[in-house]
Amino acid sequence: MPARLLPAVIVVLSITTIVLTTLGWFTLRPLGPESDVSWNSFGSGDFAIAEAPDAHGWLIVLACVAAIVVALCSWLPSLAPYRRTSLVVIGVGALAASIIPITVIANPDWYLDDLFTALGEPDRQTGLPASEFIGMPVVASTLALLLLLAVTAFAAAVLAPAIAPDQPAPVRTEDPSGAVL
């Protein structure tokens, strides 16, 4: 039963992570109430400006969309020989995508440097560290979900029934009374 449930969990985690990439990863709120402006992980924000934070959110979305496709395909009996390998690949993809929020948390300047330069370096003018401008709950939640997605994908790969590529997928048969054998 868990082997059939884990792909559904992968789909839910992936969709939730995609939603988090659209929320505010960067905000100017620390500068004061008149600066209530934020940008998401794609670099789009509340108003048009020539510069924006680096847009690396598409890599997270790419990993999540791949996870959704693989999770949905893992229920298809004809693709059963490739189930374990594809689940391991999306686990590795989720781990690779988690590098983005890890880097944003560990080194906010990597994410914000071009934008801060365009805005006249508000972090240096106010003395606030760059981490004050990061929407930490959203970025940390994205990181947690990506790591959970990777663990779930690896667990699904381990729990998936082993079928050799040259072996045909299992076929359901029914007796005349309609019972599945």
* Predicted local distance difference test score (pLDDT) of residue 25: 79
pTM (2 d.p.): 0.78
Nearest-Å Rg of the Cα atoms of the chain is 22
| Gap between the Cα atoms of 140 and 121, Å rounded | 25
Q: Beta-carbon neighbour count of residue 81 at 10 Å?
A: 16
Q: What is the predicted pLDDT for the residue at 93? A: 95
35, 98 in Cβ contact below 8 A?
no
Q: What pLDDT is recorded for position 1?
A: 47
CA atoms of 175 and 149, how far apart (whole Å):
40
pLDDT, position 124? 60
> What span, in angstroms and rounded, lies between the C-alpha atoms of 54 and 63?
18
Could you give the angle at the alpha carbon of 71 between the alpha carbons of 170 and 67, nearest 5°? 150
Mean pLDDT by 10 residues, the chain (181 residues): 80 94 79 69 62 76 94 85 91 95 86 68 64 84 96 91 58 63 54
DSSP secondary structure letters along 61-92: HHHHHHHHHHHHHTT-GGGGGGHHHHHHHHHH
Contact 35, 29 (CB under 8 A): yes
H or E element that contains 105: helix 99-106
